[in-house]
Amino acid sequence: MEITAKNTPNPDHPSLSGKIQSVTGILPPSVLGKTMTHEHLSMNFDVAFVKPVEADLKKSIMPFSMETLGWIRYNPYSHKPNLQLNDIECEKAIIDEMKHYQSIGGNSIVECTTHGISRKAQFLFDLSILTGVNIIAGTGYYVAAAQNYKLFEEPVEQLAEVMRTEQLEGCIEAREIRCGLIGEIGCSYPLHSIKHNFII
């Protein structure tokens, strides 16, 4: 993965100081209003899967229904479909939730899905345009277990370059959309050696 960021911000925005970089562009802080500061509007959370006991293995893939709801609520991380928050059905539900959020006075959301849990920058952009809610997307790397093993070979400078590029030039998966923060940087105990590179 070769990404080259310029040492200066995008020429359209010579200075980001005192400004908010949303998925749709630069905003003054005064327009943020009521803001939810750590959300995941679309992600794949397979990394959190907890294998259930042998007797419950079939339940880990059963569909959502009134009959299965109790087990899923008690075992949310052992139900594989419950960890898929980025399919069409989920995206439709998120659109409805965001419209409701906006209708009751919500203005902005800080979206903390990063590399390793399937951020979808284009969906965030479309969602912001559709609902009128400001979305600030994050860049960075989630826990080591969520990463492609090839990433472990990258020097810390390249990891930093990706984060810098995504803020100044555009996201890897959608180059016209920029991130506005670093995070969520997922850590777990014991701290994996690659996580030292993610947080340096």
DSSP reduced 3-state for 20: strand
* CB contact set of 116 (below 8 Å; sequence gap of 6+): 47, 141, 142, 143, 146, 147, 186
Q: What is the pTM of this model?
A: 0.88
Those residues with Cβ within 8 angstroms of residue 199's Cβ, 6 or more apart along the chain or in another chain: 185, 187
CATH 3.40.50.720 fits 20-42+86-199, yes or no: no
Query: Is 139:173 a contact under the CB 8 Å cutoff?
Result: no
Per-residue pLDDT of the chain (200 residues; tens, 9 = 90+): 343 333 344 555 567 889 999 999 999 999 999 999 999 999 999 999 999 999 999 999 999 999 999 999 999 999 999 999 999 999 999 999 999 999 999 999 999 999 999 999 999 999 999 999 999 999 999 998 899 888 888 999 999 999 999 999 999 999 999 999 999 987 877 777 776 777 76
The domain segmentation of the chain, as residue ranges, is 20-42+86-199, 49-84
